């Protein structure tokens, strides 16, 4: 049953050709789909979803890249006031695609970032996926399938898409007994979702100050270049297919706002350069690529191209050359987070921990709470044996920015090296929880509350967290039990 629920999530990733519809029709905000799942059930589904995604796909954990895609997503959400919690993340695969999961989990493939010619085009895809979430398309999908004993279309999609990446035997088993009539019903349903997501997405895009014509423009450019599609999936599963009717509908919506020119941010170009160098499996090939583009002037942004070159040099272990490139970057932009992190990375890998710690302390004092800076600062302190300082830095940051969930693993490492077992178990539990592993997280907290001599306030917090997780687990068990019945 867990597989079936997870399979149904992926239905919302699959976008078929949109039907011709009135581009000015208002979205249905009062759908009865709101009652299909409780908020607690949706959070539970989101945990299971992300666990499945992490198992199947290479989610990028780089704090610099993560910070960029999160910042871009937040800008779209905040300017439109669509509400809800959103989590944006990157996947290190060349596929040009993006998807929206439960509770605002939005994944973007590296290939899409590289395919986007402008930041507005990338923002257009994020806005489209935000619209899927804000218009409750996942809940509508549940509502449309609630009379079916087995969500046949979801099983087909899971077999073809997830089966080859996670468990081919389970995927083939899911294929058995799928009814063709259900496939067409689901296509018709998702076509309406896609059309609505385009219209609302353009509103989100324009209200955040991006070019609304970027959405139809990007659709058209993808349509002219079939090489951008993922050839590993069956044709039925190729997401966001481009048609003339879809482009026309998007153009009509964009014309309501008019053309808005917005220059690309440096961060956009830096992220693309970072992803480009990651795309080379061998460090030397990445170095040669950037040496060639710099020598021939084949680049859109000189700073970004040198940044990609420096990252490739670090991968190749050529620290002196990387330091030379980074020095010129910092001279041009002394407070650019990407350059400061790169400079510290070179120092740490080259064994110059003292210099890294001094520079990062200054950067953190100057820039404030930037997670990429705080993370590498803590890593440098840990490598230098300054465990107490690292733990204090991380805990202070966590108090100010509790929404940064990537911090828990590093907190657990720092607490473990400091000898504080209770905190180690507690932070490890949070790391497991946000990775979707509820049962192991509970086991960690059970170990923590059994320890003797734990500070009363810490013990109370650990017990309260344990009680909350146990309650979630009990709710999940009841839900899966009902599903199996």
Domain end position, chosen among 328, 350, 372: 350
Contact 429, 465 (CB under 8 A): yes
Contact 154, 175 (CB under 8 A): no
- The average pLDDT across 166-189 equals 43
Q: pLDDT tens digit string along 301-340?
A: 999 999 999 999 999 999 999 999 999 999 999 999 999 9
Same domain, 141 and 280: no
| Burial label, 183 (beta-carbon count in 10 A; 0-12, 13-18, 19+) | middle
156 falls within a domain: yes
Candidate from 193-202, 370-379, 397-406 with smallest mean pLDDT: 193-202
Question: Which runs of consecutive H residues, i.e. helices, occur in 2-118?
Answer: 2-11, 39-56, 63-80, 110-115
Same domain, 282 and 342: yes
Same domain, 117 and 144: yes
User: Choosing from 121, 198, 338, 343, which is the catalytic residue?
Assistant: 198
Contact 105, 126 (CB under 8 A): no
> Given this model, what pLDDT does residue 260 score?
86
Quick check: 10 pLDDT over 50? Answer: no
* pTM listed for this prediction: 0.82
> Given this model, what pLDDT does residue 104 score?
86
Same domain, 297 and 220: no
Instruction: Give, in degrees to the nearest 5, the angle at Cα 140 between 138 and 145.
Output: 100
303 falls within a domain: yes
Same domain, 185 and 249: yes
Q: pLDDT tens digit string along 128-150?
A: 989 888 776 666 665 554 443 32
Q: How many domains does the chain have?
A: 2
Candidate from 154-163, 375-384, 415-424, 458-467 with smallest mean pLDDT: 154-163
476 falls within a domain: no
Task: Please tell me whether 194 is known to bind a ligand.
Answer: yes
Enter the tokens of residue 148.
Answer: 């079916």
Enter the tokens of residue 151.
Answer: 């969500």
Same domain, 180 and 94: yes
> Given this model, what pLDDT does residue 149 score?
31
Domain end position, chosen among 193, 220, 255: 255
160 falls within a domain: yes
- The average pLDDT across 260-279 equals 96
* Residue 161 binned pLDDT confidence (cut-offs 50, 70, 90): very low
Same domain, 286 and 244: no
Q: pLDDT tens digit string along 20-43?
A: 333 333 333 344 445 555 677 667
Mark whether 198 is an active-site residue.
yes
12 falls within a domain: yes
Give 222's contacts (C-beta < 8 A, 6+ positions apart): 96, 115, 228, 240, 242
304 falls within a domain: yes
Same domain, 339 and 217: no
Task: Give the whole-angstrom CA distance, residue 67 versus residue 183.
Answer: 38
Q: pLDDT tens digit string along 79-120?
A: 777 777 899 999 999 888 888 877 788 999 999 999 999 999
455 falls within a domain: no
Enter the tokens of residue 187.
Answer: 């296509």
> Given this model, what pLDDT does residue 137 score?
61
400 falls within a domain: no
Could you give the angle at which helices 371-383 and 387-400 cross, rounded to 10 degrees?
160
Same domain, 224 and 293: no
- The average pLDDT across 364-385 equals 95
Strand-pairing partners, residue 106, are 88, 100
Task: Please tell me whether 75 is known to bind a ligand.
Answer: no
- The average pLDDT across 56-67 equals 93
> Given this model, what pLDDT does residue 330 score?
98
CB hemisphere CA count around 169 (13 angstroms): 0
Same domain, 178 and 278: no
Mark whether 28 is an active-site residue.
no
Query: Who has greater pLDDT, 455 or 183?
Result: 455
List the domain range (segments joined by +) for residue 330: 271-350
Q: What are the Cα distances from residue 437, in Å, to 49, 87, 430, 444?
A: 11, 18, 9, 11
Same domain, 59 and 149: yes
Domain end position, chosen among 292, 319, 350: 350
> Given this model, what pLDDT does residue 159 score?
35
% the chain with pLDDT above 90: 56
Task: Please tell me whether 408 is known to bind a ligand.
Answer: no
User: Choosing from 119, 121, 129, 143, which is the catalytic residue?
Assistant: 129
Q: pLDDT tens digit string along 200-255?
A: 999 999 999 999 999 988 877 777 665 444 444 323 235 555 667 778 888 999 99
Same domain, 123 and 192: yes
* Residue 5 binned pLDDT confidence (cut-offs 50, 70, 90): very low
The radius of gyration of the chain's CA atoms, rounded to the nearest angstrom, is 24
> Given this model, what pLDDT does residue 32 score?
46
> Given this model, what pLDDT does residue 241 score?
59
Any idea which residue has 């910042």 for tokens?
71
């Amino acid at each position: 049953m867990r597989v079936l629920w997870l399979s149904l999530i992926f239905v919302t990733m699959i976008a078929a050709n949109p039907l011709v519809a009135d581009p000015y029709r208002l979205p249905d905000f009062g759908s009865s789909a709101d009652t299909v799942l409780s908020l607690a059930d949706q959070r539970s589904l989101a945990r299971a979803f992300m666990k499945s995604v992490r198992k199947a796909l290479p989610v990028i954990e780089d704090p610099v890249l993560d910070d960029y895609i999160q910042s871009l997503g937040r800008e779209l959400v905040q300017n439109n006031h669509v509400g809800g919690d959103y989590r944006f993340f990157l996947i290190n695969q060349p596929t040009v695609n993006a998807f929206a999961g439960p509770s605002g989990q939005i994944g973007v493939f590296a290939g899409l970032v590289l395919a986007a010619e402008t930041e507005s085009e990338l923002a257009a895809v994020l806005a489209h996926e935000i619209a899927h979430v804000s218009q409750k398309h996942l809940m509508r999908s549940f509502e449309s399938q609630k009379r079916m004993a087995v969500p046949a279309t979801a099983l087909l999609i899971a077999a073809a898409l997830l089966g080859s990446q996670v468990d081919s035997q389970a995927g083939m088993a899911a294929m058995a007994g799928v009814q063709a009539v259900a496939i067409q019903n689901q296509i018709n349903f998702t076509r309406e979702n896609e059309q609505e997501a385009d219209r609302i997405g353009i509103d989100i895009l324009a209200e955040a100050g991006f070019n609304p014509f970027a959405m139809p423009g990007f659709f058209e450019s993808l349509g002219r270049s079939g090489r951008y599609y993922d050839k590993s999936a069956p044709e039925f599963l190729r997401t966001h297919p481009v048609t003339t009717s879809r482009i026309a509908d998007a153009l009509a919506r964009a014309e309501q706002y008019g053309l808005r020119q917005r220059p690309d941010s440096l961060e956009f170009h830096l992220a693309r350069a970072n992803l480009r160098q990651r795309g080379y499996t061998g460090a030397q090939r990445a170095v040669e690529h950037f040496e060639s583009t710099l020598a021939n002037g084949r680049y859109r942004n000189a700073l970004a191209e040198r940044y990609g070159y420096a990252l490739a040099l670090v991968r190749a272990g050529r620290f002196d050359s990387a330091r030379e490139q980074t020095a010129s970057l910092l001279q041009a932009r002394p407070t650019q987070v990407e350059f400061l992190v790169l400079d510290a990375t070179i120092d740490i890998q080259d064994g110059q921990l003292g210099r890294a710690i001094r520079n990062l302390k200054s950067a953190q004092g100057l820039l404030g709470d930037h997670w990429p800076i705080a993370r590498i600062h803590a890593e440098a302190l840990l490598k230098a044996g300054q465990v107490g300082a690292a733990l204090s830095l991380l805990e202070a940051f966590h108090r100010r920015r509790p929404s940064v969930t990537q911090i828990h693993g590093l907190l657990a490492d720092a607490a473990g090296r400091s000898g504080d077992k209770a905190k180690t178990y507690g932070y490890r539990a949070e790391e497991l929880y946000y990775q979707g592993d509820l049962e192991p997280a509970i086991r960690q907290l059970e170990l923590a509350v059994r320890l003797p001599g734990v500070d009363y306030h810490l013990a109370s917090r650990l017990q309260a967290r344990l009680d909350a997780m146990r309650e979630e687990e009990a709710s999940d068990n009841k839900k899966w039990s009902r599903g199996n019945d």
